[in-house]
Chains A and B, each alone.
Chain A
């Protein structure tokens, strides 16, 4: 276990976060955006777990938080899919380009 340094965990989380961010900002399909957000959340989870092990004061708190995040993420996806479905029913599309009601 000692062989794997903290930087490796953080790098993995960073890469995962960036992939998620890229997907969330550029993908047109809302489903993929949602999946990308999941990636970002999981990157955060990795960070939390990492610091709970390697932090200044190692403790269980970080891992508990991870469980919270997973739970919240699940709920969020559920709500998100629900909104998406109703949007699809109304607009016949899940394309983010066409979702610009914020402007008007």
Chain B
């Protein structure tokens, strides 16, 4: 564990190496990336195993001296970090492998791997950070990695816009985080997590300050995790290559917001307002994104909205004091959502379209992908015995136990929607008849299916580390030695599990009726409430609202300032030059060529000088 700092350095090495030699290596770059992330993965597993038996390890070194303040960098291995390390390096390794097949033939293949390395480095660094400052540093770096990869197809205007949007929207959140972090620093005198927690628990920070700073930090998490109202970048981010969506916009970076709130949990827990904010934003996002997901026809966008919705779930769990539930869902979601994205990538790879209206009947043609996609769909829908079922159940119990009944029912409805739209997706893609001509549909190569199989297995079994039936091993371990994080398992009424199961099955059944059996018209709802449908289908016009308010206002301010620039500042300059020129002209008038005028001026000047001389007595 003492050398855990090596873990992020492997992908960094990959990044630098490929930046320098990528051109020569061409597609062999993939092996560099894969091997180095494999090294990270192996080491992460070793660290996780080590952490199971040992205590938290923390090491620091001086970084920056500001007068008497000493800022440090270092790394820390606690339960959450160790778990995240494995999740991140595993998904990253799988995505590296997968990309070898998916990106085959792309002329910027080495660049892609270099960017993946940069992102993985930043994400692992983020996970290891022992203080807020370092977290912020890597927080921004993952943002850049995400930005570069979203804009990977830079020649497409939509990719350019999406990359820009992603960076700026998350930056809005980041500023919140920065402000919150600095305020907290001046309150507690440290960026170190443990010192901040100690200070907060000792009551050295006033209640309003805790609320303020934790909400500001939460703003950062909102931006990164695509929570309402800063969620709009995440669906657009699907412009990036699909493996990127799986790695960054499903499993790791977007979960960083959840991770941040989880890491800062003791501070959040000290303020009821902050907790309520987190829970409400999470629940609203969960249901809000789920409704949009119902209407989308782009396979990746459906998954993107489902990601937003699931992240909302995690936030809800954390806000409802369900620390374990949130982290648990973060883990299971990472696996099944990465699986879904990779499978979707495999589908796109086969049929070269993302529009599910044009797909159909792929079950027989994609013998590997289809069942794996089904596993992912079942897991996310919360069908019993798969991982998503257990983690979702934990969240619902946490919400109920916390007394947020409104939020609880919102979450239940969102679960119903999730099951419905995921199976709508599944039925439309894999069943029925093809709705367009496919040319040479083929199953993906082993480098792509292999990672999917691994994730498929994890999507099934990863839930069993923390179940009400076989023991809550994960939960107990996570909160061990830290009472601020709450209990390892929250007891809840048994009917919640039954309700959750029924709701998800109902969603699946409805989707089955509409899209598989077609006994229920697909436009049953659309034709009855066209306005509602149109609002939802247009994503509640959030983008348009931003466009016409914030963007417009920024432009207006800019134009107003330009007005000031042109008329006030330049006007000032012009008036100064005008005055100088006026004086000059006045002087020039005296120079009329007439000796007598010159003589007069000379005489008057002499007289004035003499007068001054006489008045002041010769001294100035």
Contacts and interface: CB of A to CB of B under 8 A. Distances in A.
A touching B, CB within 8 angstroms: yes
Interface in A14-36: 21, 24-26, 33
B593 A96 contact: no
Interface string B572-600: 00000000000000000001111110111
A97 B594 contact: yes
A70 to B, nearest CB: 23
B597 to A, nearest CB: 8
Nearest to A21: B603
A100 B594 CA distance: 5
Interface in B146-186: none
A99 interface: yes
A2 interface: no
Contacts of B599: 24-25
Interface residues of B, number: 10
Nearest to B600: A25
Interface string A85-100: 0000000000011011
A101 interface: yes
B600 to A, nearest CB: 5
A100 B600 CA distance: 15
A9 to B, nearest CB: 21
Q: By CB atoms of chain B within 10 A, which of A25, A100, A102 has the most?
A: A25
A96 B595 CA distance: 8
B465 to A, nearest CB: 100
A99 B591 CA distance: 13
A99 B595 contact: yes
Nearest to A101: B593
B603 A103 contact: no
B594 A96 contact: yes
A104 interface: yes
A25 B594 contact: no
Contacts of A97: 594
Contacts of B593: 99-104
Nearest to B588: A103
B602 to A, nearest CB: 10
A25 B592 contact: no
Contacts of B600: 25
Interface in A56-104: 96-97, 99-104
Given A21-B603, A25-B603, A103 B592 contact: yes
A17 to B, nearest CB: 11
Nearest to B591: A103
A30 B374 CA distance: 115
Nearest to B597: A25
A98 to B, nearest CB: 9
B243 to A, nearest CB: 82
A104 B591 CA distance: 10
Nearest to A24: B599
A2 to B, nearest CB: 31
B599 to A, nearest CB: 5
A104 B593 CA distance: 7
B592 A26 contact: no
Contacts of A96: 594-596
A77 to B, nearest CB: 17
B596 A25 contact: yes
Interface string B597-610: 01110010000000
B595 A102 contact: yes
A96 to B, nearest CB: 6
Contacts of A103: 591-593
Contacts of A104: 593
B64 to A, nearest CB: 69
B607 to A, nearest CB: 11
A103 B598 CA distance: 11
Contacts of A33: 596
Contacts of B595: 96, 99, 102
A100 B596 contact: no
Nearest to B599: A25
A103 B595 CA distance: 10
B220 to A, nearest CB: 73
Interface in A40-59: none
A51 B15 CA distance: 100
A25 B595 CA distance: 8
A25 B604 CA distance: 11
Interface in B130-155: none
B604 to A, nearest CB: 10
Nearest to A27: B596
B603 A26 contact: no
A75 B24 CA distance: 98
A100 B592 contact: yes
A21 B599 CA distance: 9
Contacts of B603: 21, 25
A26 B596 contact: yes
Contacts of B596: 24-26, 33, 96
A83 to B, nearest CB: 12
A99 B603 CA distance: 20
B233 to A, nearest CB: 71
A20 to B, nearest CB: 12
A100 B598 CA distance: 11
A46 to B, nearest CB: 20
A63 to B, nearest CB: 27
Given A21-B603, A102-B598, 10 more contacts: A25-B599, A25-B600, A33-B596, A96-B594, A96-B595, A99-B593, A100-B593, A102-B594, A102-B595, A103-B592
Interface of B: 591-596, 598-600, 603
28 contacts: A21-B603, A24-B596, A24-B599, A25-B596, A25-B599, A25-B600, A25-B603, A26-B596, A33-B596, A96-B594, A96-B595, A96-B596, A97-B594, A99-B593, A99-B594, A99-B595, A100-B592, A100-B593, A100-B594, A101-B593, A102-B593, A102-B594, A102-B595, A102-B598, A103-B591, A103-B592, A103-B593, A104-B593
Interface of A: 21, 24-26, 33, 96-97, 99-104
Please give me the 7 A-B residue pairs with the lowest Cβ-Cβ distance, nearest first. Answer: A103-B593, A100-B593, A102-B593, A25-B600, A25-B596, A25-B599, A100-B594
